[in-house]
Amino acid sequence: DAGITQSPRHKVTETGTPVTLRCHQTENHRYMYWYRQDPGHGLRLIHYSYGVKDTDKGEVSDGYSVSRSKTEDFLLTLESATSSQTSVYFCAISAWTGTSYEQYFGPGTRLTVT
């Protein structure tokens, strides 16, 4: 399962409050990603990291920030949560197989913004 955990697994928060989601990996992978999944959209990339303190924006980064101060942890922050950020959030890592990279996903965090 690539040793990926996410916390919390479920969260309900109010509009305007800050929220931080945590992704933790145990296998020292360099690349990490945050996605959100909404009905009819598959998964969309929010932010990604290619090393400690090295991050960049994905397709749907507005309203989100990330930090990676240690290889094993990748944090996603919603500075001021909005109802449009109600979603299921997945963290992923990329592992090199020898011929290609493959992404493996955590179990997800279900976030509801009321």
Partner 1 sequence: TQLLEQSPQFLSIQEGENLTVYCNSSSVFSSLQWYRQEPGEGPVLLVTVVTGGEVKKLKRLTFQFGDARKDSSLHITAAQPGDTGLYLCAGATGGYNKLIFGAGTRLAVHP
Positions touching partner 1 (CB under 8 A) are 31, 33, 35, 40-45, 48, 50, 56, 58, 90, 94, 97, 99-108
Per-residue three-class SS string for 7-58: ECCEEEECCCCCEEEEEEECCCCCCEEEEEECCCCCEEEEEEEEECCEEEEC
CB nearer partner 1, residue 9 or residue 17: 9
Closest alpha carbon to 72 in 52, 58, 89 = 52
CA atoms of 106 and 23, how far apart (whole Å): 8
CB nearer partner 1, residue 48 or residue 74: 48
CB nearer partner 1, residue 77 or residue 105: 105
CB nearer partner 1, residue 80 or residue 112: 112
Please, what is the minimum distance in Å from the beta carbon of residue 102 to partner 1?
A: 5
Please, what is the minimum distance in Å from the beta carbon of residue 8 to partner 1?
A: 14
Close Cβ partners of 39 (under 8 Å, ≥ 6 residues apart): none
Q: What count of other Cβ atoms lies within 10 Å of the Cβ of residue 29?
A: 20
